[in-house]
Chain A
Amino acid sequence: MINKIVQTMADAVAGIRDGAVVLLGGFGNIGQPHALLDGLIEQGAKDLTVVSNNAGVGRTGLARLLDLGRVRKIVCSYPRTADPVVFEELYRAGRIELEIVPQGTMAERIRAAGAGIPAFYTATAVGTKLAAGKEEREINGRKYLLEESLPGDVALVEAWEADRWGNLTYRSSGQNFNPIMATAAQLTIVQAQHVVDLGALDPEKVMTPGIYVNRVVHVPYGDPMVP
């Protein structure tokens, strides 16, 4: 019997290695797997590369992981949020590497990784300083940049519902990066608000088929209280 449901947070985050590339779902606070982040903080892996749209808010979650010096590099589109104190301190002190990626290019690089596409051309960022070092090619009269896919060793995902095969649904704008990150890592770990019986999910509503998912932990925390 396949059962991807794990009973403890320690089991959920077991085996994340030092130096891992961690894909972290969420946009702002919505759809961000805070319990898994806390689990990762507890677990101890360091020298991490974190791929996340934002660079953490306040001093909890991702910001705490940064604050503890566990992240070598962050790949994101928008490190500037309402309260990115920890990231800005580290960045100004030269203690963290930053790779800025346009948000759509970041999403497509992750999607491409999950779909087995090593690189693709996009018009985004042509002629800007984010084009530095990238191959530029003209196709049908328009200029494009070659962007490489962005796979992870680990994906940390928040879902709304999950079953023991790892089939997932998401809640409204809580989808954001979660479904694509779930496809793009060697080890996909999910925290789910609701764990349901196999067969309870309408197959037409499954947004991430279980093939992409390795572990599910039940974290029924309710609604995110800040956006």
Chain B
Amino acid sequence: MHPFEYIRVTDVRQAVAAAAAGPAAAFLAGGTTQVDLMKDGVLAPQVLIDITGLPLRGVTAGGGVLRVGALTTMEELAADPVVAQRLPVVRESLLLAASPQLRNMATVAGNLLQRTRCRYYRDLSCACNKRAPGSGCDALDGHHRMHAILGTSGHCIATHASDLAVALVALDAVVHVRGADGERAVPLTGFYRMPGEDPSVENALEPGELITSVQVPLLPEGARSGYLKVRDRASYEFALASAAVALLITDGVIRDARVALGGLATVPWRSRAAEEVLRGAPVTPEACAAAAETALSGASPRSGNMFKVKLGKRTVARALSLVAGLPG
């Protein structure tokens, strides 16, 4: 691990000031991805700001919004009674991710900022435009079975690894951020950057900005939601394909719908087009299939992950069927 200056802070103002002092500063919270990447030399901050002691932990609900402190752990959020009652899609996305040990460490904000699991990003001997801009992308013609088929560019096809982010994108969550110039709020749907020309820029955070909370509007009373994750193992594995869906159904008709995809795209992928297909449609397998077809339209697979197009469609259709309560 490269040497770094270690700073332990106890309030947000201190943390932001420390980060503003230098360009190569990084915040450390749960560390479950970051410490691993620092061991491998993929990340090498010159200044490491330990924010684990900041008072940014806890969940409160009021006014139809769930406010989640940035340092709330995944297990803590999953255990929240309002989440269990009103936002099953969030709870399921959390409990289907990682392992209990990792969920006790990893924070909600850290989860949203986790790095891709692309092996080429993690291997310093490989070309990777995300790690070393301009070096190329060894995944394009390499082993890319796990890689993205939506939102890709000729410079990067790495998937975003978070399950929680997929659920929160579906729910129109808002990220609250503190920087040297004050506070701002960024909708999660506009937070992530597709790789485009420069895959090293992953989100809307400016250097030195700190996520302080994530605010999640509750679904309307009576809405149903769920998260379906398809993967190579029954547990403790990243998604090959996943879907976060929420439906408001009355009299057998879908009044409102949310659809987001994971494991298939370079960013947590909201499909408003699929939602449009569902809105006003009767609750039928055909409607679910049509929405799934739409969600995957525009997919651009490569030779090693062609299977993800069909898998993605089936994942979306099945998630919708399960949440809608359709048989089988």
Do A and B associate with each other?
A: no
Q: Which A residues form the contact surface with B (CB < 8 A)?
A: none
